[in-house]
Structure 1
């Protein structure tokens, strides 16, 4: 057995993290949103002045609220904003032309930065676990934009199939936390009791009710080209490398076709197939979203136009103005997830996944 050291960041206070890490990122992205509006369109969009590419007029406060709420809720279950912000933009804001896909990918490139830094400092970070799904995503995300641009300008049949799959996954996640789900509840019952015991001990000591101790880390216990084994709080999971790679490839292909970050599909699959808690899967789903979104966005704005002659630019200002508050929301989620039991997170993941299927 080979135990691999995991890098541990120096501890920082929440105030220092917010002011020194998050605030500069959020401010920079907001400035980029204003600059992009003037550079792309010659005026500041928002209110009665519509986004020209999107074809919609949206008050700035609405975009900021959309970013913060989607960033927090989705990062809490290890996901980017995509499965929330994409249907919201299309169904509520009526931004439903082809540019919505690269625009949403730009949001999901930036939004997870807050969660990535937050979970890294919390110890919910493991590059060995994240590597193979991210490599698979790199391949899948290069391919996905082509069917979207060439064949799926009206992607209703494709969306219907994925929607049914998401409904099934969401229902499965909700079913598994019920008393009737059978033996799969054993490990989760132990996990939940351990969480409650530690939370009560923290409250008795006058601290906030965190479900696991400071300094807990997702460790790599064994690593090879065929298999990795990771551990967290006494639990272990053995994961086949080819399975992780092809899982990432498939999810990256589907997600880049939609214009989403992919964790909406990867997270419930990891929870369902590998019986992993949400507190652990964030170590791979958050980096996965960023890699998949970067590659998918590159395909939309560089590769697809070069090979097909069809340009599908993002609405840059829209994306930046949503992404800035989403960074803050995602960071807050990373700081508060340790206070939420895994059963609650599984329920939230199941509901979000099912709603994503309906949308």
Structure 2
């Protein structure tokens, strides 16, 4: 029967679900999340654990596999439209890579059931979301730049400062500050397989006051690179934990990734048509949704 063909079991994880549910869910989440520079992995993780009942440590690697497949379409779109902030990307990657190594190891060694850390992560997201919401409600509406001005130019990077121009304005940021933040986010991302964009993007937008339209591409590319490392690490660590489900479920991860690939491209293409406040409102929504998932 057709129902038997569509309702499948994934041997690596034991998940049973409709074959079209993972890509459809990933498409919807990625389409909206990518506009704010997020992959949506931080929402797919609770979906996998609560809806699909996939609670083994390998869910983290599977979630990062989703990032690896889904993100390139969004990054390509941002790069094609010259909205990639390369100095910011470099600082994020340098900090996040060592963090994700530590996070993956800590997930298996100390946090196979990380309830207390979820509480901490939920409170962090709630705090950042509250600050972003306050800024959103008190900030004045500014004219939307012409689409022709939505390009990143004059990028510079040194050991101390990164600089770039966007939409006729010049912006700068502290490289050590971004690297340290990215290191902490990398640990969280390595533990939960969320990539870290859910934390680092709102922080950069809210506290460093960098434009969300210019930050999104850099955040996605940083998440992609660290997720590649995360998938490799979880696959490698599976050899050292033979009695535990550690390696990613490749079949399930690829299904999520296909939906995310399409959603990410569409979201990146539509982002420049949304006002700054609309993009920040999306970020707020995702932050509070993720915080509630973790806290509850």
TM-score between the two structures when normalised by the length of structure 1: 0.76
- Give 1:273's match in structure 2, choosing from 189, 200, 207: 207
* 1:61-84 Cα shifts (integer Å, max 9, x gaps): 212211211220111111112112
SS of 2:162's partner is strand
Which stretch of the first structure deviates more once superposed, 249-258 or 47-56? 47-56
Whether 2:142 is the aligned partner of 1:193: answer yes
CA contact (8 A) 1:144 1:253 kept: yes
- Give 1:228's match in structure 2, choosing from 155, 162, 173: 162
Whether 2:271 is the aligned partner of 1:323: answer no
- Give 1:126's match in structure 2, choosing from 62, 85, 88: 85
CA contact (8 A) 1:261 1:292 kept: yes
Alpha-carbon deviation of 1:223?
Answer: 2.9
* 1:57-107 Cα shifts (integer Å, max 9, x gaps): 111221221121122011111111211211111112211222211100100
| Equivalence for 2:17 | 58
Partner Cα separation in structure 2 for residue 283 and residue 341 of structure 1:
17
User: Which protein has the larger Cα radius of gyration, Structure 1 or Structure 2?
Assistant: 1
Partner Cα separation in structure 2 for residue 216 and residue 56 of structure 1:
43
* 1:195-247 Cα shifts (integer Å, max 9, x gaps): 0xxxxxxxxxxxxxxx5323632123543221111111122222111111111
The alignment yields a C-alpha RMSD, in angstroms, of 1.8
SS of 2:142's partner is helix
SS of 1:194's partner is coil
Counterparts of 1:228-267 in structure 2 under 5 Å?
228-267=162-201
Partner Cα separation in structure 2 for residue 172 and residue 128 of structure 1:
25
Alpha-carbon deviation of 1:307?
Answer: 5.5
Whether 2:49 is the aligned partner of 1:90: answer yes
Alpha-carbon deviation of 1:252?
Answer: 0.7
Larger strand proportion of the pair? 2
* Corresponding residue pairs, total: 289
| Equivalence for 1:99 | 58
Q: Which runs of 5+ in 1 are unaligned?
A: 1-44, 180-184, 196-210
Partner Cα separation in structure 2 for residue 140 and residue 272 of structure 1:
22
| Equivalence for 1:73 | 32
Counterparts of 1:38-57 in structure 2 under 5 Å?
47-57=6-16
CA contact (8 A) 1:46 1:57 kept: no
Alpha-carbon deviation of 1:274?
Answer: 0.7
